[in-house]
Amino acid sequence: MNANEVKSLDSQYLFQNYGRQNLCFAKGEAEFLYDLDGKKYIDLVAGIAVNALGYAHPDLVNTICEQSRKLMHVSNLYLIKEQAEAAEALASVCPDPLCKTLFVNSGAEANEAALKLAVKHTGRSRVITAKNSFHGRTAASLSATGQPKYQNGFTPLLSHAFDYVEYGNIEELKAAVNSETAAVLMEPVQGEGGVIPAGKEYFQAAREICDDYGALFIVDEVQTGMGRTGKWFGFENYGVVPDIFTLAKALGGGFPIGACVTSPEIAETLKPGMHGTTFGGNPMGCAIVKTVIDVMKRDQLVKRSAELGAAWMSQLAKVSSSTVRGFGLMLGLVVDNGRELQSAALENGILVNVCGGGVVRLIPPLIVSQDSLSAFTKVVEDFC
Interface contacts to ligand PLP, rule CB under 6 A: 48, 106-108, 111, 134-136, 187, 191-192, 220, 222-223, 248
Supply the minimum distance, in Å, between the C-beta of residue 175 and ligand PLP: 25
Burial 262-287 (b: 16+ CB within 10 A, else e): bbeebbebbeeeebebebbbbbbbbb
Closer residue to ligand PLP, CB minimum distance, 163 or 192 = 192
Helix or strand run (H / E) with residue 165: strand 162-165
Minimum CB distance to ligand PLP smaller for 196 or for 379: 196
Spatial distance between the Cα atoms of 141 and 128, rounded to a whole number of angstroms:
12
* Phi, psi (degrees; rounded to nearest 5) at 17: -100, 0
Query: What letters, b where the CB count within 10 A reaches 16 and e where it falls short, cover 179-214?
Result: eebbbbbbbbbbbbbbbbbbbeebbebbbebbeebe
Q: Which is nearer to ligand PLP, 195 or 379 (CB)?
A: 195
Nearest to 156 by CA among 135, 169, 140: 140
Coil, strand or helix at 53: coil
Select 129 or 320, whichever has its Cβ closest to ligand PLP: 129
Shortest separation between residue 51's beta carbon and ligand PLP, angstroms: 14
How near is the Cβ of 113 to ligand PLP at its closest, in Å? 12
Residue 220 Cβ, how far from ligand PLP at the closest point, in Å?
5
- Cβ of residue 346: shortest distance to ligand PLP, in angstroms? 22
Residues 6+ apart with CB under 8 A from 171: none
- In the complex, the smallest distance separating the C-beta of residue 248 from ligand PLP, rounded to whole angstroms, is 4
Q: What residue number has its CB nearest to ligand PLP? A: 107
Residue 90 vs 380, nearer CB to ligand PLP: 90
Smallest gap from residue 135 Cβ to ligand PLP (A)? 5
Minimum CB–partner distance for residue 111 and ligand PLP (Å): 6
Cis-peptide, bond into residue 97, ω within 30° of zero: yes
Q: Which is nearer to ligand PLP, 250 or 379 (CB)?
A: 250
Measured distance CA(47)–CA(67) in Å, rounded? 23
CA proximity to 228, closest of 171, 180, 181, 296: 296
Query: Please, which residue, 246 or 305, has the CB nearer to ligand PLP?
Result: 246
Q: How far apart are CA 378 and CA 72, in angstroms?
A: 44
> Kindly report the CA angle at 379 between 378 and 382, in degrees rounded to 5?
85
Confirm if 331 and 195 have CB atoms less than 8 A apart.
Answer: yes
| CA distances, 114 to each of 184, 221, 280, 348 (Å) | 11, 12, 14, 42
Q: In this complex, which beta carbon is closest to ligand PLP, that of residue 246 or of residue 320? A: 246
